[in-house]
């Protein structure tokens, strides 16, 4: 297992559209294990492969209180959305920033699991929000894209300054 390093906004690599996984093999399972370890130590409730500079359609999530319920979704697709919910979001690639974002309250998702078997699930609330946030990463989208240009500019300047001071 390994802790992977997380890219930070405005890194252009976070803007690429990730490629579907063709075969769920041991390489993918090692990636999943490393992503879970990285997410738990961050700590975060989700992580998408592009955040660790792997441009593949793989996400991991654990919204449980005791951090013992990992969920992994490969090539996830939202096939239905219902309702609207606003939640304060954060992102490991936009550290220290929390802003409300409006998303679907309930979604139906199809994906492949860690064993390569198809999954079809109906989820709501925080899990639905988290899956939408992670799928956005696979499409090169970040939660700051839902904010005003002014807010996004302020966030970018703040993170660029932090970056300069830590180099
Ligand atoms: O840890 C995370 N918390 C979070 C809170 C509200 C909405 C979405 C998230 S996902 C985030 C981890 C992350 O950046 N995943 O891409
Ligand atoms: Ni994120």
129 lines ligand 1 (CB under 6 A): yes
Ligand 2 (ion): residues with CB under 5 Å are: 91
Confidence at 98, pLDDT banded by 50, 70, 90: very high
Q: Is 157:144 a contact under the CB 8 Å cutoff?
A: no
**What phi and psi values does residue 162 have, to the nearest 5 degrees?**
-55, -45
What pLDDT sits at residue 70? 98
CA 19, distance to chain mean position in Å, is 15
Judged by its nearest atom, the ligand closest to the C-alpha of residue 61 is 1
Confidence class of residue 167 from pLDDT cuts 50, 70 and 90? Answer: confident
- Quote the ligand 2 centre to 91 CA distance (angstroms): 4
pLDDT at residue 34, rounded to an integer: 98
The token pair at 93 is 């690639």
| Cβ contact 51:4 at 8 Å | no
φ and ψ of 2, to 5 deg? -150, 145
For the chain, give the mean pLDDT: 97
Q: What is the pLDDT of residues 32-81, one digit of tens each?
A: 999 999 999 999 999 999 999 999 999 999 999 999 999 999 999 999 99
Instruction: Give CA–CA dist 78/119, Å, rounded.
Output: 12
Mean pLDDT of all residues in 107-117? 98
The Å distance, Cα 90 to ligand 2 centre, comes to 7
Contacts of 149 (CB under 8 A, 6+ apart): none
Closest protein CA for atom 6 of ligand 1: 89
The finding on whether 130 has its CB within 6 A of some atom of ligand 1 is yes
- In this structure, the residue with its CA closest to atom 11 of ligand 1 is 91
């Amino acid at each position: 297992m390994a802790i992977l390093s997380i890219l930070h906004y405005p890194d252009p690599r976070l803007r690429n559209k990730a490629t579907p996984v063709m075969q769920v093999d041991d390489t993918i399972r090692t990636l999943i294990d490393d992503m879970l370890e990285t997410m738990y130590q961050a700590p975060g409730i989700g992580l998408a492969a592009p955040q660790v500079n792997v441009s593949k359609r793989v996400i991991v999530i654990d919204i449980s209180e005791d951090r013992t319920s990992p969920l992994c979704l490969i090539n996830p697709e939202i096939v239905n959305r219902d309702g609207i919910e606003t939640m304060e979001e954060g992102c490991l690639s936009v550290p220290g920033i929390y802003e409300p974002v409006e998303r679907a309250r309930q979604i139906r998702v199809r994906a492949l699991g860690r064993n390569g078997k198809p999954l079809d699930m109906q989820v709501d609330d925080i899990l639905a929000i988290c899956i939408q946030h992670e799928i956005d990463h696979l499409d090169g989208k970040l939660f700051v894209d839902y904010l005003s240009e002014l807010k996004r500019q302020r966030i970018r300047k703040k993170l660029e300054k932090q970056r300069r001071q830590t180099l």
